[in-house]
Amino acid sequence: MLIVIIFLLVLSVLVLIHELGHFIAARIFGVKAEEFGYGFPPRIVGIVKENGKWKKVSGKDESEYKRTIWSINWLPLGGFVRIKGENGEEETIKDKDAFHAKPIWQRIIILAAGVTMNWILAFALFAGIFTFGATAILDGVPKDAKIENKEVRITNLVAKGPADKAGLIPGDSIISIAGVKADNYEQARSVIADQKDKSFEIDYKRDGESKKVTVTPAYLEEIKKFGIGVGLADVGTVRFRFDKALLYAGEAVVGYTKDVVVSFGTLLRDLIFLRRVDQEVAGPIGIAVITGQVAKQGIVPLLQFAAILSINLAVVNFLPIPALDGGRVLFLIIEKIRRKAVARRVEARIHQIAFLTLIVLILLVTLRDIGKYGGVIWGGIKGLVGM
């Protein structure tokens, strides 16, 4: 249940920040935001400020309200902003406060404001992480970083190797090996190598609790020599001066954005030319499971994951695909070139078809997620109901 709550909170923040961007830009240019809602309809409650007083939305025609309706809805999957005339409704064309009554450049800014807010959120999260500190592998860390809580940590294991069989797992912090304190990963590896095929004890920490285990080296085909099959790294809490944190946050946003764009380019290439998908693509269920796994590692990894997810949302939303913000911008660019808008009914129909196509794709990915993560989901349900 906690994983579901965390996932909904992360998703809600990302989507609401996105919609807030549209809302702010619309209001700056004098476009009426008819409703700003948390979740998706049906509506639980809606309030509006009229004549200086807040009141509950009645059953009258909502277009009569001069101010924005703020609502809470039953489906807690993010939120939405309903902007007057954004779908080209005929009755709003001549209204000065309608979306399509504004110049093309203003409409493009309103549409782009959502993804811009997602990039800003990612930047803010990375800046916070770099300022207040995050656990990181120290190899390649910039020289101007401040490092605290340095330790040797297990990063990976050879499946069914001695360390794996002894019960060690990635994330365990090594205190000592064969009675020798582990100062850094190179020294720890050297001590392990000195044991050759002799059994020895490893003192380690897991979740703040000190533990001890005896490991017997074995010949590992992967490395062609005796070992315990463990990958080690120096890990510590890394933080930067505020101005440096802002610089590295910007670099992180640019770097991840490039990675996401390249990944989607590769995905589209494979779909079009190879008619298959070789990359890992996660739908809502897959993202929920991953969110739960990351949340178990602590708040900082969760914030980093949220930042990357926000960048993904920005890139996907700005792809020139109908029904998405990028697709709507594309129609505005066509309108600018032609000096004439595409027929509203035609554009609306194209967006509808594209939206239905995206829903089908999401359902297909979700079905694959169920097949992949079904065991994890079922385990969570059993734990929830006490089976």
- Please tell me the predicted confidence (pLDDT) of residue 262: 85
State the pLDDT at residue 137. Answer: 86
Residues sharing a CB contact under 8 Å with residue 144, sequence separation 6 or more, in sequence order: 240, 241, 244
**Quick one: pLDDT at residue 5?**
83
User: Looking at the predicted structure, is the pLDDT value of residue 14 above 90?
Assistant: yes
Homologous superfamily of domain range 146-239: PDZ domain (2.30.42.10)
Beta strands in the chain (DSSP E): 33-50, 53-56, 69-83, 134-137, 146-157, 173-177, 180-181, 200-206, 209-215, 218-220, 225-227, 230-239
Output DSSP code: residue 241. -
Residue 223 has pLDDT above 80, yes or no: no
Task: Select the more confidently predicted residue: 29 or 58.
Answer: 29
Question: From residue 352, how far is each of 19, 173, 255, 322 by CA, in Å?
Answer: 20, 53, 33, 8
Residues 321-346 have a mean pLDDT of 91
CB 242 within 8 A of CB 132: no
177 or 360, greater pLDDT: 177
d(CA 48, CA 249): 38
Q: Are 202 and 177 contacting, i.e. CB atoms less than 8 angstroms apart?
A: yes
Average pLDDT over residues 48-61: 84
pLDDT tens for each residue of 130-161: 999 988 888 888 888 999 999 999 999 988 89
Percent of the chain residues past pLDDT 70, beyond the cut: 84
Retrieve residue 197's tokens: 């095929």
pLDDT at 51: 85
pLDDT level of residue 13 (50, 70, 90 thresholds): very high
Distance CA(73)–CA(308), nearest Å, equals: 27
For residue 242, the model assigns a pLDDT of: 94
Confidence category of residue 357, pLDDT binned at 50, 70, 90: confident
256, burial (CB in 10 Å: exposed 0-12, middle 13-18, buried 19+): buried
Of residues 382 and 151, more confidently modeled: 151
Question: What mean pLDDT do residues 165-189 have?
Answer: 93
Does 211 have pLDDT greater than 80? yes
C-alpha distance from residue 309 to each of 13, 170, 375 (Å): 11, 24, 24
Of 231, 220, 226, 212, give the one whose Cα is nearest residue 161: 220
Closest CA to 59 of 72, 74, 43: 43
Contact 287/280 with Cβ under 8 angstroms? no
Q: Residue 16: pLDDT above 90?
A: yes
Distance of alpha carbon 134 from alpha carbon 239, whole angstroms: 7
The answer, yes or no, to whether residue 220 has pLDDT greater than 80, is yes
Query: Which of the pair, 273 or 205, is modelled with greater confidence?
Result: 205
Cis peptide before 162 (omega within 30 of 0): no
CATH 2.30.42.10 domain locations along the chain: 146-239
Instruction: Tell the burial category of 282 from Cβ atoms under 10 Å away from its Cβ (0-12, 13-18, 19+).
Output: middle
Q: Residue 207: its pLDDT value, please?
A: 84
Contacts of 10 (CB under 8 A, 6+ apart): 291, 302, 305, 306, 309
In angstroms, the Cα distances linking 358 to 193, 324, 347, 363 are: 54, 10, 16, 9
- Does residue 96 come out as left (phi exceeding 0), alpha (psi in the -120 to 50 range) or beta? alpha
The per-residue pLDDT for 249 is 95
Neighbours of 239 (CB within 10 A): 19
Report the chain's mean pLDDT, rounded to a whole number.
86
